Amino acid sequence: MARPGSDPSQSAAHTKWRWRKELLAERRRVPGAVRFSEAISLSTHLTSGRIVRPGQTVCAYVPIGSEPGSAQMLEDLAEFGARVLLPVVTGNGPLDWGWYQGRDSLRPGPYGLREPIGELLGSFALRIADLVLVPALAVDREGVRLGRGAGHYDRSLADTATGTHLVAVVRDQEIFEALPTEPHDVRMTAVLTPNRGLLRFV
């Protein structure tokens, strides 16, 4: 990828915007068959018993567009015995959460998202999670994550209990040496990729 340089005359927010554009363009070029096999690999890691154990609570996400993963990943996690929470966008504040109750329990939400139809548990539901799978466009060696730029996850993750694993999910090529960062960015504790599995930062 043509990586946007770190021009000191540009703000971090502007540099982030340039990274997002490149990363999204790169993702759109990934053939469907590659996406499909990468999604299977992610599911295999998540149900290996080394990342999540049956009975644990996982905040996951329903992948949209070219994001890594699949709706099947949620089914696989549930079948494995994990309790799966999904994010619900309610405005500009932190995300709300609802239980994943099967593929028929999703309805269309904003930005082309699919969201759970059940009861909303409130933003603090995140505190019962053992692990949060965080959608990301890229992550760096220090755990800095680049998201879509709406700030939903940064606002939500500030509330997680200490000890909660924060796992960015990206493609193997989306781990970089150093990404632009701002003070509100919440560091990930690990990254999960299809081919390398789980890499811990701390």
Ligand X SMILES: Nc1ncnc2c1ncn2[C@@H]1O[C@H](COP(=O)(O)OP(=O)(O)OP(=O)(O)O)[C@@H](O)[C@H]1O
Ligand Y SMILES: Nc1nc2c(c(=O)[nH]1)N(C=O)[C@@H](CNc1ccc(C(=O)N[C@@H](CCC(=O)O)C(=O)O)cc1)CN2
Asked if 192 contacts 169 with a C-beta cutoff of 8 angstroms, the reply is: yes
- Residue 18 contact among ligand X, ligand Y, none, beta carbon within 5 to 8 Å by kind: none
> Of the candidates 19, 61, 97, 153, which one interacts with ligand X according to CB under 6 A?
153
Question: d(Cα 32, Cα 38) in Å, to the nearest integer?
Answer: 10
- Give how many residues touch ligand X by CB under 6 A: 15
What are the distances in angstroms from CA 42 to CA 5, 47, 168, 179, 201?
Answer: 30, 9, 12, 23, 19
If DSSP codes are grouped into helix, strand and coil, which group holds residue 135? Answer: strand
User: Footprint of ligand Y on this chain (CB under 6 A)?
Assistant: 61-67, 87, 89, 95, 111-113, 135, 147-148, 150, 152-153
* 106 assigned ligand-binding residue: no
- Give the nearest distance from C-beta 70 to ligand X in angstroms: 19
Burial class of residue 156 in the structure, from the number of CB atoms within 10 Å of its CB (0-12 exposed, 13-18 middle, 19+ buried): buried
Q: Which of residues 90-149 bind ligand X (CB under 6 A)?
A: 146-149
- Give the nearest distance from C-beta 9 to ligand Y in angstroms: 27
Residue 37: alpha-carbon gap to chain centroid: 18
Residue 58 is a binding residue for ligand X (CB under 6 A): no
Residue 152 is a binding residue for ligand X (CB under 6 A): yes
- Give the nearest distance from C-beta 9 to ligand X in angstroms: 19
Question: d(Cα 57, Cα 128) in Å, to the nearest integer?
Answer: 7
Residue 184 is a binding residue for ligand X (CB under 6 A): yes
Nearest to 160 by CA among 191, 190, 123: 123
Residue nearest to ligand Y (CB): 65
* 21 assigned ligand-binding residue: no
Q: Which residues are annotated as a binding site for substrate?
A: 62, 67
Give me the residues that bind ligand X (CB under 6 A), please. Answer: 16, 146-155, 158, 182, 184-185
